Chain A
């Protein structure tokens, strides 16, 4: 259809205001300062914010009411993301509430729901995503971490052995949702199961990987004969790939990262106003003015595409768009990088000093350039990964080529 997008609902403006007010009230001055400087937050600081959202019922706002959510429409969810993004609120860590939560409320047993959903909705448990392995990145279905039902205990446990890599925040996680191989004989996608693993289980080792921004975001996770209760299996054995695909489809709301881009565009304008060339701010430079306009065009297009996809998914006909979530991921990640690159190009006027230590709490040296510089450069470096994680740009193009164009 030519027109998919739903009309904007004006009654939602009061919700928008409510989110704004909440952000203003709940992000205290100390946290505000760290966010503005782009400093690394502690787990406790994330908890402070995410648990406040949990109390308010907004963390799982777009979950259905039966699952403990608010049943938000796509538009409400978009407003929430946009406004928290604009406020520069802490990252909405997705592993629990966006990723595994919906899998559990859709496919989990009553016991699993009772055990896990409250902690996810209140952010009292932290999750990580154990998919990628050293030998299985883009070709995820080739994963080899093995889970075998124990013979000595009548199959009450799986014994898990193998290695995951790039596991974001595994060092903070209480639980890991993991793809494991339960049938090595079957076709790659058919022999995979979806297991919930307690990170405190004996036999798990987490090792940090330092990335190019000098930050610790990702890890290697080793499983050495780890005993996992069989009741931690989601759904049926060997159907894990289906649940993983569901998770991916469900994630399309966030995949374009519109919230973060609202923030980046604001920051870009701030940087241009503060950075001088020949005694005049770069905001007066025709080259940068054109660049900002270009980025805003791309942002508006992406926003429209997101709205269009939501509408298509909600319409009765429910015709999935031809190119779907893959296009949102490609364009969203590219645009994130483009805005960050524009900021970096402007900040390069300060000589590209990178004060990575200034991102640590308690640093009290002298900052160079605009105060937010180190944080922005760190974000720029870190988001080089945006076109790699969650299915790289190359893989997304393959998906469109195969799935949408039938090539």
Chain B
């Protein structure tokens, strides 16, 4: 549920667009990515806090505005359009999302810090042997005194390099224990981070945990198995990534259109060739379709409709295909210029490639839909959760 009216959403969208359009752009992204240790802007993060964006989907008690994933997605779509580098999704959707969903009252205090901009977060769930599968956890939080001792390895995740608090999944007790989520300070002893840029230049890290000592209060909520909660959390991440991609694909299509209108070959603008026109049309149809599919899924999730998870999977399949086509064509239709680090086309291509793969690619989500379909009655697949809001 969301506390936002349509007008408030419109306002949010406009203020975000105004700020990013003024502050951001491919040059700024590149500078942050290459010339700062974090790979993103600390100043920008402060501004997000001041604008109230970090608290958009946090409870009022934490200084937030009680919005839903839809409001966060409005912000993320704008960030994607302008190639923002800050770890908004890992901190707000995954990290804070996990705490809001599962945290004890004491743990919920963290959310106030997130809203203030004083706590960056990331989720480390996937492991070298898990791939996109969400139920494969080998990391172990063995009991040790009152608390735990964490051992395991987690796959590269954007934002993990700078997170003040990592949310890490691990089996409680031993290899057959339930899967819990643990709050681990990024700088805790025994945490070793392998920092790298992602393909799109945003930084992140893979992590190894070797005997990291954790107090009892590091476990989010109680000791019950959290695989279902993690699944739901990753679905929210999936949809947020789709929103970011929708912003990026619109911008990629727009910059390609602009380029082809002014690039002349054979004595005329390339946009005058019908082959090119149809390609541009297909890019734009995909943008519109994907925006609609993501919107429908957001409504299903925010209104907790039955079958919301399937709506997310469908949106991701659509979004992944659109991302691949639009990113690829943005480069192709720019010709040699599309290959350069200088123009934004290649940066949109890489951002869309990352978003396409994050939280499971199109093929993987298609398989989820097949598995769900195998269990559901024949009519269910076309009705559950897909009604547009």
A353, B328: Cβ atoms under 8 Å? no
> Min CB distance, B144 to chain A, in Å?
26
Question: Would B199 and A377 count as touching, CB distance under 8 A?
Answer: yes
Cβ-defined contact, B339 with A353, below 8 A: no
B194 touches A368 (CB 8 A): yes
Q: Which of A17-25, A66-74, A205-213 contacts B (4 or more CB under 8 A)?
A: A205-213
In the complex, the answer to whether B198 meets A351 with C-beta atoms within 8 Å is yes
> In whole Å, how far is A105's beta carbon from the nearest beta carbon of chain B?
30
State whether the Cβ of B25 lies closer than 8 Å to any Cβ in chain A.
no
Supposing A349-B131, A351-B126, A384-B339 touch, asked if A368 and B199 sit within 8 A by C-beta, the answer is no
When the two chains form their complex, are residues A212 and B350 in contact, meaning their CB atoms are under 8 A apart? yes
In Å, the complex CA distance between A348 and B328 comes to 17
Complex Cα gap A136–B27 (Å): 27
Query: Which of B156, B275, B347, B361: most chain A Cβ within 10 A?
Result: B156
B28: interface (CB < 8 Å): no
Asked if A368 and B156 make an inter-chain contact with CB atoms under 8 angstroms apart, the answer reads: yes
Contacts of B353 in A (CB 8 A): 344, 352
- Which of A214, A349, A355, A393 has the most C-beta atoms of chain B within 10 angstroms of its own C-beta? A349
Q: What number of residue pairs across chains A and B have CB atoms under 8 A from each other? A: 134
User: Cβ of B156 and Cβ of A351 under 8 Å apart?
Assistant: yes
- Interface class of chain B by DSSP: mixed
Interface flag for B377 (CB, 8 Å): no
B96 at interface by CB-CB < 8 Å:
no
Contact B156 A278 (CB under 8 A): no
The distance in angstroms between the C-alpha atoms of A8 and B193, with both chains bound, is 55
Chain A residue, CB-CB nearest to B341: A210
What 0/1 readout, one digit per residue, does chain A (120-137) give for beta carbons within 8 Å of chain B? 000000000000100111
Question: Is A9 on the interface with B (CB-CB < 8 A)?
Answer: no
> How far apart are the CA atoms of A276 and B136 in the complex, in Å?
11
* Assembly CA distance A212 to B200 (angstroms): 9
The secondary structure that dominates the A interface is mixed
- Chain B residues closer than 8 Å to A351, beta-carbon distance: 126, 155-158, 198, 204, 206
Determine the distance from Cα of A240 to Cα of B363 in the docked complex, in whole angstroms.
Answer: 49
List of A residues within 8 angstroms of B126 by Cβ: 349, 351
Choice from B129, B267, B340, B357 contacting A345 with Cβ under 8 Å: B357
A166 CB within 8 Å of chain B: yes
Q: A231 an interface residue at 8 Å Cβ cutoff? A: no
Report the count of interface residues on A (CB-CB < 8 A). 48
**Shortest distance from the beta carbon of A179 to any chain B beta carbon, whole Å:** 16
- A139's partner among B197, B265, B363 (CB-CB below 8 A) is B265
Residues of A162-186 whose CB lies within 8 A of B: 165-166
Task: Please determine whether B196 and A355 come into contact, CB atoms closer than 8 angstroms.
Answer: yes
Assess the B357–A352 pair: CB atoms within 8 A. yes
Encoded as 1 (CB less than 8 Å from any B CB) or 0, chain A from 388 to 407 comes to 11001110010000000000
Interchain CA distance A278-B371 in the complex, whole Å = 15
For residue B32, give the distance in angstroms from its CB to the closest CB of chain A.
16
* B145 interface residue (CB < 8 Å to A): no
Contact partners of A365 in chain B: CB under 8 A:
194
Task: Say whether A139 contacts B199, CB under 8 Å.
Answer: no
Q: Is A46 an interface residue (CB 8 A)?
A: no
Contacts of A385 in B (CB 8 A): 336, 339
Residue B132 CB within 8 A of the other chain: yes
Query: C-beta contact mask, B116-128 vs A, less than 8 Å → 1, else 0?
Result: 0000000000101
Is residue B133 contacting chain A, with contact meaning CB distance below 8 A?
Answer: yes
B346 nearest CB neighbor, chain A only: A212
A363 vs B346: C-alpha distance in the bound complex, in angstroms?
26
* CB-CB nearest in chain A for B208: A366
CA A223 – CA B319 in complex, angstroms? 46
What distance in Å separates the Cβ of A132 from its nearest Cβ neighbour in chain B? 7
Nearest A residue to B134 via CB reads A278
**Are A276 and B129 in contact (CB-based, < 8 A)?**
yes
Say yes or no: is A250 at the interface (Cβ < 8 Å to chain B): no
Chain A positions within 8 Å of B357 at CB level: 345, 348, 352
* Residue contact A165 to B346, C-beta cutoff 8 Å: no
Minimum-distance CB pairs A-B, first 9: A277-B131, A351-B156, A278-B133, A348-B357, A212-B346, A353-B156, A139-B265, A349-B131, A354-B199
- Chain B residues close to A by CB (< 8 Å): 126, 128-133, 135-136, 155-158, 194, 196-200, 204, 206, 264-267, 275-276, 328, 331-332, 335-336, 338-342, 346-347, 349-350, 353-354, 357-358, 361, 363, 367
